[in-house]
Structure 1
Amino acid sequence: MTEQKTRAGFAAIIGAPNAGKSTLVNRLVGAKVSIVTQKVQTTRFPVRGVALEGAVQIVLVDTPGIFQPRRRLDRAMVRSAWSGAEGAETVVHLVDVQSELAIREGGAKAGDHRSADDVQTIISGLKASGRQVILALNKIDGIKRDSLLAVTKDLFDTGVYSEVFMISASKGEGVDDLKKRLAELMPEGPWLYPEEQTADLPVRLLAAEITREKIYLRVHEELPYAASVETTAFEERQDGSVRIEQTILVERDGQRAIVIGKGGQTLKWIGEASRTELTDILDRKVHLFLHVKVKENWAEERGTYSDMGLDFDV
């Protein structure tokens, strides 16, 4: 019996903010490697998730959403997203089909218009690069076939797509077919990561991302993108547990009050939710200590960008 040759390569997932990129990466990998919240633009730098399909290793680059940037941090995130796509063997453009349909059929909200504008920005960028990519229409749950086909035709006629998949990243529908196709597109060669590794995100950074997710899950209405989390200490204890200290940075005193909450209840919830998930991921007892600090210009400091792997000078 001939041994199956191994294959390995990179597949970048690009799309507008909140298209479902992180959900798709987590589904393909079968483990949590990228934070998922209902707030758009929570992925600030490419997180590589490692998916296996038989003898094939697919390294998934979950990029920040591509949109019209306004601030330095926005520009750095968008540049990072395009960079992640440039170095990959194949690229998947994930589109929220429900936003596209809301605009066609009426009832569109401001977020739907922003999403559609961002899709067009990405299509323009793909045309400029001269590269064809895979189109994946996401959030197909409950949508009529005729409506799906109409959106598919309009997008496919732009000439930037080589093939189309219709999926539900949250429920898994169609994701296995997409995964098989990505595996076929990976080049022959040795695996890039050990079999048991699901991501190449450093553990201190992963811990910070988990806590940042919990902040947005709890206070996403009150707090705009004005919070960052730094893991300031990560200590392995003799009893096998780990002690983690983190600082939550906000830009104003009012935001600090929101994160702490009445009687410290909000911060307590964030800490407990983060600790529970980190205990599960790290498979050991976690002692987590959170501090909230006001740092007005954290989003304009060079060190913040290097910590996140972003280009400060973009």
Structure 2
Amino acid sequence: PRPAEADRLVLERVRAAGRPAVLVVNKVDQAREQAVLETLQAYAALGAFEELVPLSALTGRNVARLEDVIAARLEEGPPYFEPEQVTDQTEAALIAELVRQEVFRRTHQEVPYKTAVQLEHLDDSGTRL
């Protein structure tokens, strides 16, 4: 099979971008294996893609492979947080969120989740639960 006109237009944009490209073909669980193979061969012959990944998001087939293909192409960026920093939320904001969650849990969803919590005092000494 030859790529459809709409696919050729997308392909032109991919080539014009001059960036590495990966073709992902989803829903392979709904097609005959031979049809999938022929489609992949047709797109591979165009030479525009570094890799072709047939997958089925529904069944999970090749999803892990796609994650690996994407991860292998990601460039490491600069650190935006200190190595020991695990969140950008303040301690007071985290405590308020925990209180809201507990109110929500105990009222069996009868109170809107936007319960207002105002932390008046934080005692950071002594035993922690």
TM-score range, shorter chain: 0.5 to 0.7
- Structure 1 position 169, deviation (Å): 2.1
CA deviation map 1:181-221 (0-9, x unaligned): 22122223455588679xxxxxxxxxxxxxxxxxxxxxxxx
Equivalent position of 1:156 in the other structure: 44
Unaligned runs of 5+ in 1: 1-103, 105-115, 198-238, 242-283, 288-314
State the superposition RMSD in angstroms.
3.3
Equivalent position of 1:137 in the other structure: 25
- Structure 1 position 121, deviation (Å): 1.3
Aligned residue identity for 1:125: R
* Structure with the bigger percentage of strand: 1
CA distance in 2, matches of 1:141, 1:151: 14
Computing the radius of gyration from Cα coordinates, the structure with the larger value is 2
CA distance in 1, matches of 2:7, 2:37: 17
TM-score, normalised on structure 2? Answer: 0.54
User: For residues 132 and 240 of structure 1, do their structure 2 counterparts lie closer, same or farther at Cα, with a shift above 3 Å needed?
Assistant: closer
Residues 48-127 of structure 1 mapped to structure 2, 5 A cutoff? 116-127=4-15
Matched-pair identity in %: 22
Unaligned runs of 5+ in 2: 89-98, 102-111, 116-129
2:35 to 147, 152, 156: 147
Aligned residue identity for 1:145: E
Residues 1-314 of structure 1 mapped to structure 2, 5 A cutoff? 116-190=4-78, 240=100, 285=113
Aligned residue identity for 1:152: L
Asked whether the 8 Å contact 1:131–1:160 carries over to 2, the reply is no
Q: Secondary structure at the match of 2:23?
A: strand
